[in-house]
Each structure stands twice: as C-alpha cells, then as structure tokens.
Structure 1
C-alpha cells in the first residue's frame, strides 16, 4: 500500500504526524511531500514532531494570494504524484495545500483521503478561503475522516455517501499526547524564560493569538485595543504570541505595557507554544487548532470569531464566541479573569475532540480498504 501525504503548513504537520506514524506501522511505503506553503514554520514543526519530508516542492512566495499558491501547486504536484504512484493521497483540513493536493490527486485518478473532514461554518467568507476549500475537497474525496459527530452530520447533509465517512476523533489529540512531555522539558522552559522572564504565579496567565485573514485591519486593531485595556484594568498577565504575517504584526506593534501585564513575544515554535498553552489559565484565539488544543488541555477559550466550524467547543462550555468587537472582548475576558469559579466550570467541560486514537483508526481504515481492492497483495503485518 503506497500512501502520499501532502503537507503545507505547521498545523497540517502537527495533525498529520500521528497519521504518518500510524501508517508506517502498517506499510513501508509512506511518502511525505512538503509544499513550501509555510517553509520555515513547516521545517520547525517537522523537527518537533519527528517526521521528515521525502519531497519538497519549491514554491515561489512572491505572492501571498491563495489562488496563486493553488495554481503553482497544481503545476508542481502532478510530477510528485506520478513519481510516487500512490494508492491513497492524504490531505488534512482546509489549506491551499490541502485543496491543491486533493485536486491534483483527483486529476491523477488517485483516491483522495480527507483528514478532519466535515468542518463547516456555513459562511464562505468566514473563514475565507478555507470554508470553500474544505467544502470542495468533500466533493472529490474518496474517504472522509470526520473528527466529531457534528462534522459527520455536515457531510451527510451534503449527500456524501455514509459508507465513505468514518468518525475518528481529531488527530490533534494524538499529537498532544505525543508532544506534551517534550514541551514540558527543561530546555523548552529555559527557552521561554529567556523571552518572557518571570510570569507571576499570583495572577491569571492569559495566552492570546490572532491571525485570521478576515480580521486583518479593524478587527485586529479592536483585539489589540481590548487586550491593552484588560491589561490596564485587570490583575492578570497577558502574553500575546505574534504571527509571522506582517499585516498581523502591525496591529500589535507597540502594544506591550511597561509593567509586564501585557507582553508581546515573537512567533514561537510548536513545543514552546504548547508549553505556554499548557501553563495558561485562559486562551484568547481565532485559531481553529489552538481552540482544539486548549479544549483538550481544559483551558477556557475566548474565540475571536463571529462563527465557528467547531461548535462542539461552545456547546460543551469550553469556549465563548466574542468576535472582534472591542467591548465584548474586554467585558468577557475581564469577567473571566475576575471569576475563578467560572474558569473552573469551563475547565471541567467535556473535551469533544477525541481520545487520542484517531490516527490508528485512519490507518486501519485505509489498510482495510486497500486489502479489499488488492486481496492477494502482501502487506506489513498489523501489530
């Protein structure tokens, strides 16, 4: 069984690393292709999760327009697919790399496997362009691995064949189980102490991030203003982890306070960020992956979005949608900082994203399907 895995961004590397390890337990032919969508972040993530790329696509990054990225990948990926000749092509989520990989696989007649299938916000403009990408991948994928019952229901509502859908849980839980001890290591702690200094233990620690394309401009300025106001008025330490996108960084430039109540730090590698997430009492973010990780770690989450494709977080009580309205962010965050019992209640909320065995379910399903199609072929024995 030959499997080609397409990875373009750090979140894809994190979430697909458990799948790659699980696949390598059942077949000797797993090929990883890095698309170059996020080159530096991707290489760092590969090191953190102990995987390497077998093929690297050289992507011209002179344009950040997603349609240009997709077009260039559609020029480059067919050669990789032809060279590997896979039985399955695996993509994850809703990035330009996932969409281009799925479309290239479809054109080549290779069955496409979609990990983290079925997430929907119901709004093509939010998140943009991800909502469109994941919806279009669903039309051409052969197998759909849905992380939650809600994701499965979304696929069924779109008339996706029920037999092609399997609810697995989210591989982000598998990734956390693998990486958390590494993230707590003395080396990572020392790395963060150099950047952050001391974080007072007698006040809540709030970890914040923001980067959504649809929030660039007024939305991010509102987030920055709200965080600064909370830092001025509430007894908490807020750490904002910046994003490499210059348009995002601009909104938070000069935001840090002299007393250290609000600190802005450079983008962190995966293990360092996971350490911060593990230590935080409250998380403020617009990142889908961070919402999932925070929920798994029992952290209250304020979601800087008006709509979410992860309604499980809100329904379970782990999270609250606050959008990018300055007053709503300020009021909700300050209230949570000052209400220990509410924080405790949100921490106890059920984790809706799985049991850490999603990758094994995915590898097992691919092997079973392949055996049905190749009944006399030799395979690596499943342990």
Structure 2
C-alpha cells in the first residue's frame, strides 16, 4: 500500500518552492501525494499553479479582503481539520514561515499526524523581524518531526534548539530547483523592451514591518538613485496591499524611469531577475534565487534569516533608512570591484537537486516507519 503525503501551501512564494517538490513526489511510485492549497494569496497562487501545471486536490479558498493573521489562522485550522480526518496522511508537508504553514502544522499536530518542514531552521532570533515569519517558523519547527534544512547553518540552528540530528537533513533550497525550469536565455517582453540598454534595478518591497514611513524612506532612496543616474531604470512589481500601492504611487509619481507593474508571474519575474543589474528586496526567497543567477542583492531589512548569503558575499544588508539604502545602491552602481565580487560569489543555497533529496528522504522515512509497525 502506498504511503500518503499531503502537501499544504497557500502563498505565491510557497507555491514556487513547493512546486518542484510536488512534481518530484508525484513521480514516486511508493507514495500517494495529494495537494491542499489554502489560497492565502489567491490570484498570485493561481498563476504559479497554472505555470507548474499543479491541480490541487483541495482548495480551501480562505482569502478575504483585508483579512487578518488571526482570520487566516482560524480558517485554515477549521477547514483543514476535516481533510486531515478524511485523508489520514502519513505525513503533512509544510513550507517555510507563512501563516498558512503555521496553521497547517498546528492542525496536523492536533490530529497527531507527523509533520515534515521544508526550509526548516532559518532564524534571526528576533521574533518581530521579519513579522510574523520569524515566529511562524519557530512555531512550526517546535512541532515538526522531520526537518529539511536548506543549509548546514540551518541544521546547526535546529540542533542547538534540541532537535534530533537524525531527523534533520540538509538538502539545499527548492527555490533553485524552480529556477532551473523558468529562466529562458531568449526571453524578452514589453518590460525588457522598455528597459532597453539601461541598467535594470529590480525592486520588491512588501514586508509588514516596512509599511508606512519606513517604506517611504526606501522608495525615496531609490528615486534619488534614478534621478542621479540617467542609465538606470527601475521595475517594481507592486504588491497588491493597498498600503504598499499608495506609498509607491506617492513617492514615484512623475518618475518616468520607474515602472510600477502589477505582480508578475514567476516566469516573468525570474527572467527579469536574470537580466537585472542588481536587485533590491525585502523578500526572503529572492535572497536565495538571485545569487544563483549571479545578481547582487541588497536586502532592504536590518536583519536576515539567510546569513549564509551575507557571509558568501552574494547579499548585503542595506537597511531601511533612506541614506543607507541610497549609499548601498550607489556603491554598486559606481564601484565595479565591489559589484564584481558580489556577482561572482558562490551561491550557498544549493545546486538545483533539493526536491530529489527531500523526496528520497521522505520515501526512506515512510518505508522505515511502515516496516516498524
């Protein structure tokens, strides 16, 4: 009898990173893999599902306008409970640090179903940075049974917290697996036509802790850079959060070398990353993806749960203050030596085979547990 695995995810970043793993699991004859999406992000999630041709077995469709973290948590808990009762999987797989992952792991724990945590062990050890992700991932690791750590440093974090070494597996990050299928050397679009021969700065900013005056400072720094460098253009796929949209429109109004777009699907975004001169982001996953493409990353935060990239030289913490962001960007635009060092640094986040390693270990673990019954 095939062992059943239920993969649960709900946001665009989760879907990008879980898609290659789901595909790998579906190809394993010893497993019966089912997918449940919460649709914490609706339209952005659907884009990824369509691109990777994944059809969920269950869709909780929880997204509501202006939903709070409490509402997301309770809806996932209530709706997932009946699915777990019906399916009784041998393992529930969750990813990373979203509220979907936290609630899904908690639901599995309440149903006494083992939990596998993909992208386990990332830490800043500052519960509000990033918020609520740092707390979410610590909560998930506290109740998980199998840990798929992307790096050795993540593994060491888990061991220091008392997790059993034999239940932790260093796999690399599945984000790199996804990149292997999306980047096209012949890619072009209306956006690349607009950029032309200018140096492209690709910007993403959406974190809750950066909303308001902090985000204004970041955007003012970017505007100054554009005004002072005629060969620079900025593309900013704006997160649909109304607070982000209003700030971006206010600060960048009248700046014709800053292009504000709607969120891009994963194929367009990955290919823009591959063509960017540098990337400015407060996102987590981009810190792993961009170095694989040889693109320097300025992290628009004061802390990162991915210090391996900073140590390797692929990432630099630019902070969030206007002057700090402005100086960091200006240095990479003017200092070819510093730029070259960052663009040639070795990506510490894997080789594109993380999904295979995770699937191999899931098969081994479940066969082992089945044989012990």
The TM-score, its normalising length taken from structure 2, stands at 0.95
1:283 Cα deviation after fit: 0.3
> Which of these residues, 128, 132, 140, is aligned with residue 129 of structure 1?
132
1:34 partnered with 2:37 = yes
CA–CA distance in structure 2, aligned partners of residues 374 and 77 of structure 1: 25
Question: Deviations along 1:167-208, whole A, 9 cap, x unmatched?
Answer: 000000111112223xx565xx33xx1x5642131x421111
Correspondence for 2:298: 302
Correspondence for 1:287: 283
CA–CA distance in structure 1, aligned partners of residues 316 and 207 of structure 2: 17
Question: Deviations along 1:205-232, whole A, 9 cap, x unmatched?
Answer: 1111100000001110001111111111
Contact 2:182 2:271 in 1 (8 A): no
1:260 Cα deviation after fit: 3.5
Correspondence for 1:117: 120
Contact 2:42 2:63 in 1 (8 A): no
1:21 partnered with 2:17 = no
Contact 1:127 1:214 in 2 (8 A): yes
1:312 Cα deviation after fit: 0.9
Correspondence for 1:343: 339
> Which of these residues, 217, 221, 225, is aligned with residue 226 of structure 1?
221
CA–CA distance in structure 1, aligned partners of residues 16 and 263 of structure 2: 16
1:62 Cα deviation after fit: 4.2
Quick one: structure 1 residues 60 and 259, their matched pair in 2 at CA, closer, same or farther if it must change by over 3 Å?
Answer: closer
CA–CA distance in structure 2, aligned partners of residues 137 and 259 of structure 1: 43
Q: Which runs of 5+ in 2 are unaligned?
A: none
> Which of these residues, 53, 56, 66, is aligned with residue 56 of structure 2?
53
CA–CA distance in structure 2, aligned partners of residues 150 and 3 of structure 1: 27
> Which of these residues, 272, 278, 281, is aligned with residue 276 of structure 1?
272
Q: Following superposition of structure 1 onto structure 2, how do residues 19-168 of structure 1 map, counting pairs within 5 Å?
A: 19-27=21-29, 29-59=32-62, 61-168=64-171
1:319 partnered with 2:315 = yes
Contact 2:223 2:255 in 1 (8 A): no
CA–CA distance in structure 2, aligned partners of residues 137 and 257 of structure 1: 41
CA–CA distance in structure 1, aligned partners of residues 336 and 96 of structure 2: 35
Question: Deviations along 1:247-299, whole A, 9 cap, x unmatched?
Answer: 11111104447574322222211111111111101000000011111111111
1:5 partnered with 2:7 = yes
SS, match of residue 249 in structure 2:
coil
Correspondence for 2:242: 246
CA–CA distance in structure 2, aligned partners of residues 367 and 240 of structure 1: 41
Question: Deviations along 1:93-143, whole A, 9 cap, x unmatched?
Answer: 000110011011111111100000000011001111111111011111010
CA–CA distance in structure 1, aligned partners of residues 301 and 63 of structure 2: 31
Q: Which runs of 5+ in 1 are unaligned?
A: 378-383
RMSD value, Cα: 1.7
| Number of matched pairs | 369
CA–CA distance in structure 1, aligned partners of residues 276 and 89 of structure 2: 42
Contact 1:200 1:237 in 2 (8 A): no
Correspondence for 1:359: 355
SS, match of residue 342 in structure 1:
helix
Contact 1:49 1:179 in 2 (8 A): no
Correspondence for 1:369: 365
After alignment, is 340-349 or 131-140 more displaced?
A: 340-349
